[in-house]
Amino acid sequence: MYATHHDLSISTREAVVAILSAHLIDAMDLFTQVKEAQWNVKGPNVTALHTVFRSMTRVIARHCDAMANRIVALGGRAEATARLVAARSSIDEFPHDTPAGLAYVSVIAGKLSQFGKAVRASIVDTANCGDTVTADLLTQITSVNDQQLQVLDAHLQVEN
């Protein structure tokens, strides 16, 4: 940890940086997996899905920046190189045998759900540490993640 003038205790900052660092790693992995889906999606909805996935990567990139900035503000070091992400991510690997279209949507929806569940659990953890600013950041990330998941779920829902 770097020396800062931040008013949170060093133990709080260390605990929160560890939480954020894990989510940053997962978000970077999620970014690359959604990017892979964007590049490779096929089928009759290719244009719409390509656009949805491209939009999602932009949002996820903003989440990564926000978490990295918070880590640094707390005196931590934001680390998320490809090698670290590959070694530490808790997000399941993208199945490279995914067929076309809606199968991609289903895979990415599952990954967004996995990421959202982990981030949501950390909202209470960071608040309990006394860092309501990070709790608020994670709440915002979860809210946007839920909106993205809603878009994917809408593609998967079939009208009766």
* Dihedral sign, Cα of residue 148, residue 26, residue 57, residue 108: negative
160 pLDDT band, cuts 50/70/90, is: very low
Our count of domains for the chain comes to 1
Q: Give pLDDT tens digits for 65-123.
A: 999 999 999 999 999 999 999 999 999 999 988 777 889 999 999 999 999 999 999 99
> What is the CATH classification number for the domain harbouring 139?
1.20.1260.10
Residue by residue, DSSP assigns 65-96 as HHHHHHHHHTT------HHHHHHH--SPPP-T
C-alpha closest to that of 41 among 30, 52, 56: 52
Report pTM.
Answer: 0.94
Q: How far apart are CA 105 and CA 16, in angstroms?
A: 32
In a domain, 4, yes or no: no
In a domain, 3, yes or no: no
- Identify the domain containing residue 142 by its residue range: 10-156
Percent of the chain with pLDDT over 90: 82
In a domain, 127, yes or no: yes
In a domain, 73, yes or no: yes
* DSSP element (H, E) containing 105: helix 102-128
Q: Give pLDDT tens digits for 19-58.
A: 999 999 999 999 999 999 999 998 888 899 999 999 999 9
